[in-house]
Chain A
């Protein structure tokens, strides 16, 4: 107050060098900001690699995921060594043979490593036929042993099926369930949340009550109750139908979070100048919502959606673990973990819990991605 501003504006300072920052669009700023965040980049790149891996599951896995090997029921992972039979170091990995032996005390079969027999691990070997990505037929696998020997990098499940291929194949379901579910949540959440915030009054009251009621149920039990109502798989109701309905169920419970946040956003937008201008110009409610409000909230929607994906993946895992989610012949990580429900089983066959590691890694990567997006959407903050 006391100090007077300089009376003469300094004309020279107006000539500024053309700044890159000012010219960038908001989206470009977000991308820049996102790329600065190491964890977020780890999340993004890790997920891209993950999706490619599960898409190529039949090629990367050495066996067919449904093939049952009655001689290798609950077999341990094949030991892989970087030395040959003579004990010399070799760049080509060797798989140690495993044979069954009758335990004279317990009178049960058990698997014993055969220290004397080594099989070379070959690359691009012919094996079980498969269809890749739904249209490429093939029988070449990335790695494997010469027939009739087989390699089981993650061991075998209680039906003698290759865990490695099953984990990769299960990823196809587990890694997409969150995406599809979140897309549906976006549709429910943004339409209902925007309407609730825009119209206010009765509609808002009813919507808030509905959200409160859904939030009053513990999520997994509610999901389970809805999933239990789905018919069992048959010729008219395939496992794939069930998978889609499971994603619908997951999003039916999950849209509330997005709706709540969007409602708050829209309420703040409804007082803003651009809404007033649109109203004054005679725009309809639908036009204001879809042309002015939702695009403005787009970055916000993406962030909330990304942060909701881990919860959906964990939800599917829990449901399938309980036997209410994905059904055979489809596999998901939760469905694989169903074999590992008893502690005694896990102590005997620790490799059955490997799908759990896949879940944890995927959820971690999605959390990194979501946190990175959240920090990036507001490029003007410091």
Chain B
């Protein structure tokens, strides 16, 4: 087991190196460089620089360095926690990223828990009540949940909440608490707001996971050990929850590595509509403005969060399922 974990962590580092390469490519892809941006800023302020000054700045910024040197300079600074400057905000990209990343992680983890909880219950119900009215209703809802883009769902839910229920929507806090220091009241206010993004982001994942759960459980219910459990006279509830559901959940852990990227993906887009203080709005704005150091920092940290999430999922699965081979 320990060996397995160590090897997985080794893979993680190999993958990280490639993630860094992709991040670097994304910074380098758009035309223009940081220096050009700086020059433009200085000119806008009314100043101008002589050719010699520009040339010496080019040397300082390493604009004409060969690509591998550029990469080395960038990556060695990245590892030390210097992600470069954001052109637009004139702040270190690191400060902007770390101000927002925790919210993304918290909302994604809560969404995952929500999606899992609901899909296990719904999946078990629809598998044990096959071909009932409610099972068909659930199937229709699952199809719709998979077909509605999350941002559209966010819009519809918000319009409904505002028009029909008269709720204050958008953001994670009421206006009064946005800049307030942390307190119990602010926490309660946060809870009042956070359910909506969780439900909206989790909808498509819940639809998908509950279908997976239903299919798995139906497979498991046909197994002989379930028959054995029934024939030895166990109550049906015990047969299902103790014998069948536990085994039907393994594939759910296995797809964890797929559902986490989906959730983070959905979160970034929904955050724009719901006006959440998470990575999404700033990231896409950075892309539109070609603020590449900021954008690449966001993308790489999201990828790193995902890699760690996948590592945890793999370890969890190996711990849950003794049939996993450690090779």
CB-contact partner of A314 in B30, B149, B163, B302, under 8 A:
B149
Bound: A6/B43 CA distance, A: 100
CB-contact partner of A360 in B147, B159, B169, B261, under 8 A:
B147
CB-contact partner of B303 in A217, A229, A359, under 8 A:
A217
Complex interface bits, A333-371 against B, C-beta within 8 A gives 1, otherwise 0 = 000010011010011001001001001100110010000
Interchain CB contact under 8 A, B159 and A350: yes
Interchain CB contact under 8 A, A225 and B269: no
A213 contacts the other chain (CB 8 A) = yes
Residues of chain B contacted by A322 (CB below 8 angstroms)? 269, 272, 284, 288
Residues of chain A contacted by B147 (CB below 8 angstroms)? 310, 359-360, 363-364, 367
Interchain CB contact under 8 A, B22 and A356: no
A23 contacts the other chain (CB 8 A) = no
Please, which residue of chain B has its CB at the minimum distance from the CB of A223? B265
Complex interface bits, B131-149 against A, C-beta within 8 A gives 1, otherwise 0 = 0000000000001101111
Complex interface bits, A206-239 against B, C-beta within 8 A gives 1, otherwise 0 = 0001101101111111101111110100000000
A sample of 13 more A-B contacts (CB under 8 A), given A318-B149, A318-B269, A364-B147, is: A215-B258, A216-B15, A216-B303, A218-B264, A218-B268, A220-B265, A221-B265, A224-B284, A343-B170, A346-B155, A353-B156, A356-B149, A360-B148
Chain B interface extent, by class: 35 or more
A321 contacts the other chain (CB 8 A) = yes
Interchain CB contact under 8 A, B14 and A364: no
Interchain CB contact under 8 A, A218 and B155: no
Please, which residue of chain A has its CB at the minimum distance from the CB of B304? A216
Docked complex: A297-318 residues within 8 A CB-CB of B: 310, 314, 317-318
Docked complex: B257-285 residues within 8 A CB-CB of A: 257-258, 261-262, 264-266, 268-269, 272-273, 283-284
Bound: A281/B306 CA distance, A: 47
Most buried by A among B26, B149, B169, B290: B149
Interchain CB contact under 8 A, B257 and A215: yes
Bound: A272/B153 CA distance, A: 48
List, sorted by A's number, 19 A–B pairs whose CB atoms are closer than 8 Å. Answer: A209-B14, A212-B15, A218-B268, A218-B302, A219-B261, A220-B266, A221-B298, A224-B284, A224-B287, A225-B26, A228-B287, A310-B147, A337-B151, A341-B273, A343-B169, A347-B162, A353-B155, A356-B148, A356-B149
Most buried by A among B18, B143, B152: B152
Bound: A340/B306 CA distance, A: 31
A324 contacts the other chain (CB 8 A) = yes
Bound: A321/B288 CA distance, A: 12
Residues of chain B contacted by A212 (CB below 8 angstroms)? 11, 15
Interchain CB contact under 8 A, B151 and A321: yes
Please, which residue of chain A has its CB at the minimum distance from the CB of B169? A343
Docked complex: B144-193 residues within 8 A CB-CB of A: 144, 146-149, 151-152, 155-156, 158-159, 162-163, 169-170
Interface residues contributed by chain A, number (CB under 8 Å): 41
Residues of chain B contacted by A218 (CB below 8 angstroms)? 261-262, 264-265, 268, 302-303, 306
Interchain CB contact under 8 A, A209 and B18: yes
CB-contact partner of A341 in B15, B272, B295, under 8 A:
B272
Q: Which residues of B contact A (CB under 8 A)?
A: 11, 14-15, 18-19, 22, 26, 29-31, 143-144, 146-149, 151-152, 155-156, 158-159, 162-163, 169-170, 257-258, 261-262, 264-266, 268-269, 272-273, 283-284, 287-288, 290, 295-296, 298-299, 302-303, 306-307, 310
Residues of chain B contacted by A323 (CB below 8 angstroms)? 284, 288
Residues of chain A contacted by B22 (CB below 8 angstroms)? 213, 217
Interchain CB contact under 8 A, A221 and B268: yes
Residues of chain B contacted by A227 (CB below 8 angstroms)? 287
Bound: A314/B270 CA distance, A: 13
Residues of chain A contacted by B283 (CB below 8 angstroms)? 221, 224
Docked complex: A90-133 residues within 8 A CB-CB of B: none
> Shortest CB–CB separation between residue A7 and chain B, in angstroms?
35
Bound: A229/B28 CA distance, A: 9
Residues of chain A contacted by B262 (CB below 8 angstroms)? 218-219
> Shortest CB–CB separation between residue A255 and chain B, in angstroms?
16
Bound: A104/B246 CA distance, A: 66
Interchain CB contact under 8 A, B159 and A347: yes
Bound: A213/B18 CA distance, A: 7
Residues of chain B contacted by A317 (CB below 8 angstroms)? 149
